[in-house]
A and B are shown apart, each in its own frame.
Chain A
Amino acid sequence: MLLLHFFRWLGSTPVANAINDSEWLFPVIESIHITGLAVLIGTIAIVDFRLLGLALRNRPVSQIARDLRPWTRAGIGIMLTTGPLMLSAEPERGYGNPAFEFKMTCLLLALVTHFTIHRRVTASDHASGTTAGGRLAACLSLLLWTGVILGGRAIAFF
């Protein structure tokens, strides 16, 4: 019930009306959202590929993670701004939509994983290049973020 009120409130905000009144604002926000997707998940995927030993093997994990962190954060910022903006314009597409619920569940788990397990395995380096923990964290991370993409893409079809 609380959630329904929130969605209704979101849809009645001046920002929501502005987006709905404009012909091009929604597509532009959506495009920024997809560009942000590449920045956010792309930089995370690079770290995950390194954790799996598939790319940049000669560089320490912690160095790559540190170098990419500002970009990942920027990506999170872009996504968490443009996402709610789109939702405000079409709250009925989110509320009660199983794809949206799936996406939000994956997003929550992905963010929690990112700031706990993922951060831990990228904080230190091991001589062997990859570790079982690192590979596991990378798989989990790729899986959850891909779940976010699948759920997001599916919102339009429910």
Chain B
Amino acid sequence: MSFLTFCQWIETTSLSTAIREGALYYPILGAFHMIGIAWFGGMVLMGDLRVLGIGLRQAPVSEVLSQFRRWKWVGFVVVLASGGLLWWAEPVVCYKSVSFRIKIVLLLLVGVNALVFRRGAYGSNAAGDDGPVKSRGARLAACLSMLLWVALVFTGRGIAFF
């Protein structure tokens, strides 16, 4: 069975049909996706800017990161769950969209960034650290995170067009 056939099968499931054809499910899921981006995307961004010493300069890096971590996870789950359901509603459209394919690759890179760079770079921060983070790895991870994140928004929005 090819992946396309699998996508076509998903569209025949009752959950997929319900989201696609119900008047409210799709807009509500889309709204949750947006709220997740708005409430928690800002924390990803400000966390990265703090590492670079650009935003929230007066708070120690370790404090900002540890305080945001829980909420970033909440946001991640909200965005992933709503996004997953939106995909479940229209997998064939997504399959054919170049923008969606790029988005999935970016999403994998976010995971790589989190596992490889961040874990190593952020773990070494001592408590009470002020100013920008000096570790090159951490700064690189922060830049990558911001770039990937903005690119995810662009490719996500692009699914409707390309």
- Complex interface: chain A residues within 8 A of B41 (CB): 38, 42
**Interface SS of chain A: helix, strand, loop or mixed?**
helix
A145 interface contact, C-beta 8 A: yes
- Any chain A CB within 8 A of the CB of B161? yes
B17: min CB distance to chain A, Å = 18
Give the contacting residue for A42; candidates B31, B43, B63; CB below 8 A.
Answer: B43
Tell me whether A129 is interfacial, beta carbon within 8 Å.
Answer: no
Assess whether B84 is interfacial by the CB under 8 Å rule: no
Bound form: Cα–Cα A38–B41 in Å:
5
B30 contacts partner chain A, Cβ-Cβ < 8 Å? yes
Q: How many residues of A contact B (CB 8 A)?
A: 40
CB within 8 Å of A: which B61-102 residues: 63-64, 67-68, 71
Q: Are B46 and A43 in contact (CB under 8 A)?
A: yes
Which A residues are in CB contact (< 8 Å) with B71? 49, 54-55
Contact status of A149 and B35, CB under 8 A, knowing A38-B153, A55-B71, A59-B63: yes
List the 7 closest pairs (A to B, CB-CB), nearest first: A42-B42, A38-B41, A41-B38, A31-B154, A31-B157, A153-B31, A27-B161
